Structure 1
Amino acid sequence: MITAPRHYCDGVLIVHVSDCYPPRTGGIETQVRDLARAQVAQGHEVHVLTATPGPAGERGGLVQDDDGVRVHRLGARIPFGLPVNPAAPPRVRALLRELRPDVVHVHAGVLSPFAFDGARVAVDAGVPVVVTWHCMLDGTVPALRAAVRRSRWASAPMALSAVSGAAAQRVGEVFDAPVGVVPNGMDLARWAPDATAPSPAGPLRCVATMRLAPRKRGPALIGVVADAVAQLGPGSLTLDVIGDGPARASMERRVARAGLTDVVRLRGRLERAGVRAAYTQAQVFVAPAVLEAFGIAALEARAAGLVVVAHRATGIAEFVTDGVDGLLVDDDAAMVRALVRLSREPALLARLQARARADRPTHDWALTLEAAQREYVRAAELAGR
């Protein structure tokens, strides 16, 4: 139903394959679920095959309804509930024969054994396959490129894509093939700035929302704040960190050692309403990650009217314009300078805030669904459908 002469809007059967899915929390999990639900709302039949156990540990092929999305829990009994199942391919193969999908949409990170197994099985079955990378492949490109050249993946009929142009560039270097962009989507109205909220007074109020994992560089963020405060003096800025994860203990130690207990608050995980409320009390969103393929938390902050300070060579640069509605930097030292400028130059802060509030980002679900549609049609053409 998604071959070139026909229309994707006719309603198709879509199978998403992802190692991770709720109740796990994270960027891929949230995006796959929200995309699947948006496609159901469009009238498509949508299934998700995942190695993530259900809320009560459900696995072994149990099927759950998730607001119209049929979620197949194909996880195994692995310590710590990790989303891994080396024995899944035969079950995936049987499900594809049973469901006969029009397209299989695989969601990949650097290490996604379940997703890659799903892609292999789907290609063998002759089903149109889209693979979307949700990560930056920096540091792995030479090894992956060599591996692809030695395998049949070099000629596999798959529509390759990534969540941003920056991420797509790395995928293209690995496969030496055209790579599309399927950006992450969000409900822009949910994150619209609160026009009635008073502008925070006093110190520069910063916020960061992330999983507290090494690749997000939370400890490095504490160092950035410490350097900025050393230049600005006491009472100059505050930082609220929203999120949790294995790096929390390290961040707590750094906060204590730097004497920042009255500057930095580690607030843990908050529901979306809590994050939204926190943004009404902030002026600046700080994103310390350098391997950020997209940056959905930064997009939410940008949509809420915050000034985003982030690294330039990331997916965040696709919705933040340096010197217009945010500041993009090349390294941590430049991030320190950016925070110092925003604290010392209230006119600059006000100008960036005004543009961030007035110029709404375009990354809504309509954009994402349209991009996914293009990739599904391309996948059908590559598969000869």
Structure 2
Amino acid sequence: MSLNICMISDFFYPNMGGVESHLYHLSQQLIKRGHKVVIVTHAYGDRVGVRYLINGLKVYYLPLLIVYQQASLPTIFFLFPILRYIIIRERIDVVHGHQAFSSLCMEGIFHARTMGIKACFTDHSLFGFADASSILTNKVLKFTLSEIDHVICVSHTSKGNTVLRASLNPQMVSVIPNAVVANHFIPDPSKADPNKITICVVSRLVYRKGMDLLINVIPRICAQHPKVNFIIAGDGPKKIDLEQMKEKYLLHDRVQLVGGVPHSEVKNVLVRGNIFLNTSLTEAFCIGIVEAACSGLLVVSTRVGGVPEVLPNDMIIFAEPEENDLITALNKAITMIKFKEVTPAKFHDRIKNMYSWENIAERTERVYYSIMKTRRIPLIERLRRYYGCGSWAGKLFCIIAAVDYLIFLLLEFLMPRNDIEIAPNFPSEAFLRKQKSNNYY
């Protein structure tokens, strides 16, 4: 049974990151499995309106106001008319939201449930419980997921975190990890300098990614190992601090900052290295370490979040998120590289068999089929669930849900479904057959 699926999130290309990559590759595999996929995100610069990507993947770039790190301004009700139009025009069966940080995702799921559309949610991050930002985000998440059909997390650690934050039944939460296109990350030892040991860092240069740790670690490693260099790819507010560190310790010829790179160019950075360093303070999965291992790099990473679930122990060296422990782990990794204890080709072959988007799409498809069998929740049951979200928040959520339902009825009257033109389907099957015949795969 083919389905019409709407992926919705603030985070998509041309922005770069794990969520963006996940949406794109999952959508492509679902299209290959015979489903129709459209993506709804906010506009990026002059990229506004409807765009088609390869294999007929359709993307709606909505003109929304951005408030912080590519997250759009919450509108509560103002998104509903255009989202309803898209759902009806594309004949959507399932709305699949991604990332708790995304207000567009939260609103999309909420409005879809008001329309009676099946909805699921994938959480890509870990959150705390004490600071003001986490408390607010967790309350909104609990509200949104009160009547969700199913939730997907990218690791078992992420599942436990999401279950606690949103007060979910663990049985309605599945663990489906990220994956990697192994053919895009083939080791190439000829690219690495045989006289040097190169440590690669590919990350957003922000506090959460442990950039303060990195800034303290680099000078110490360079002082201990004259033949060790660093390549750092990424952009963010901590880039200035990294530049200052280079100036202070005169490491211009040892530390290269290449800036933000497109995801298609990440492999060209990784194949130049021998060791991949991840200093994150929190991670639900970390697709970067999978890509690095697939490229044949030995991984050194902080033992945080879901990272210990990702790679076998002989492919990764763990450290606590503390400066001295990272130095110890890096020294061990440098010794292993010196004595040639790492075989890049074997790393690549193992990762290729462990993580594939074909498998991830198949497992996600099973989730879709399972939620299509669930019953539609009546309005009174929706209000009861919202009421249980808190003594004062529950009442507020009930009012929001009731107003949203009244807006839905008004839209049905002002813009009848029959007046909305149904979008023709992209001839995906014929297009895929043509690509295969031309040996594109």
| CA spacing shift, 1:383–1:349, aligned 2, 3 Å | farther
Q: What secondary structure sits across from 1:106 in the alignment?
A: strand
1:131-151 residue CA offsets vs partner (Å, 9 max, x unmatched): 0011111346983697379x6
Partner residue, 1:221: 214
Structure 1: any 5+ residue segments left out of the alignment? 1-9
Give 1:71 shift.
1.2
Q: Please say if 1:31 is aligned against 2:36.
A: no
Amino acid at match of 1:74: L
Q: Deviation of residue 377 (structure 1)?
A: 2.7
Distance (Å, rounded) in 2 between the aligned partners of 1:126 and 1:152:
17
Given the alignment of the two structures, is residue 137 of structure 1 paired with residue 130 of structure 2, yes or no?
Answer: no
The aligned runs of 1:169-184 (5 Å cut-off) are 169-174=160-165, 175-178=167-170, 179-184=173-178
Is residue 246 from structure 1 mapped to residue 233 from structure 2 by the alignment? no
CA gap of 1:26–1:140, structure 2 versus 1, over 3 A, is farther
Q: How does the TM-score come out when normalised to structure 2?
A: 0.75
Query: Where does residue 203 of structure 2 map in the other structure?
Result: 210
For 1:83 and 1:198, the matched residues in 2 are separated by 37
Percent identity over the alignment? 23
Q: Which amino acid aligns with 1:37?
A: Q
**1:70 maps onto 2:41 in alignment:** no
**Count of equivalent residues:** 366
Highest CA radius of gyration, 1 or 2? Answer: 2
Relative to structure 2, which stretch is displaced further, 155-164 or 356-365? Answer: 356-365
- Are the counterparts in 1 of residues 196 and 227 from structure 2 also a CA contact under 8 Å? yes
Counterparts of 1:383 and 1:237 in 2: how far apart (Å)? 60
Name the structure 1 match of 2:408: none
3-state secondary structure, aligned to 1:37: helix
Question: Contact 1:295–1:316 (CA<8 Å) still a contact in 2?
Answer: yes
Match of 1:7 in 2: none
AA in 1 matched with 2:103 = P
**Distance in 2 of aligned mates of 1:239 and 1:79:** 33
Task: State whether structure 2 residue 115 is matched by structure 1 residue 125.
Answer: yes
Question: 187, 195, 208: which one pairs with 2:181?
Answer: 187
- The 1:240/1:261 distance shift into structure 2, 3 A limit, reads same
Distance 1:343 1:173, change over 3 A: same
Distance change >3 Å, CA 54–CA 43, structure 1 → 2:
farther
Q: Which string of whole-angstrom CA distances, capped at 9 and with x for unpartnered residues, describes residues 302-360 of structure 1?
A: 111110111222333233223x1121222232221011122245577614757534533
Alignment match of 1:375 (pick from 361, 367, 372)? 367
Deviations for 1:58-99, whole angstroms, at most 9, x for unmatched residues? 2xxx32212211211222255799552522123213322333
1:307 lines up with 2:307 in the alignment: no
Structure ranking higher in helix proportion: 2
| Runs of 5+ consecutive residues of structure 2 not aligned to the other structure | 378-441
Distance 2:118 2:19 in 1: 21
> Which residue identity does 2:234 align to in structure 1?
G
**Alpha-carbon separation, structure 2, partners of 1:300 and 1:70:** 26
Structure 2: distance between partners of 1:294 and 1:79: 26
Q: CA deviation at 1:261?
A: 2.5
> Structure 1 residue 252: deviation in Å?
0.8
- Map Cα deviations across residues 270-329 of structure 1 (whole Å, 9 max, x no partner): 34554323322211000111212221222111111110111222333233223x112122
Paired with 1:330 and 1:26, the residues of 2 have a C-alpha distance of 24
Q: How does 1:27-66 map to 2 (within 5 A)?
A: 27-51=18-42, 53-54=43-44, 56-58=46-48, 62-66=49-53
1:294 equivalenced with 2:282 (yes/no)? no
Q: TM-score, normalised by structure 1?
A: 0.85
**Partner SS, residue 22 of structure 1:** coil
* Cα distance, 1:223–1:139 mapped onto 2, change above 3 Å: farther
RMSD: 2.9
Residue 351 of structure 2 corresponds to residue 363 of structure 1? no
Give the Cα separation in 1 of the matches to 2:273 and 2:67.
40
- The residue aligned with 2:326 is 335
Give the whole-Å Cα distance in 1 for the aligned partners of 2:93 and 2:367: 12
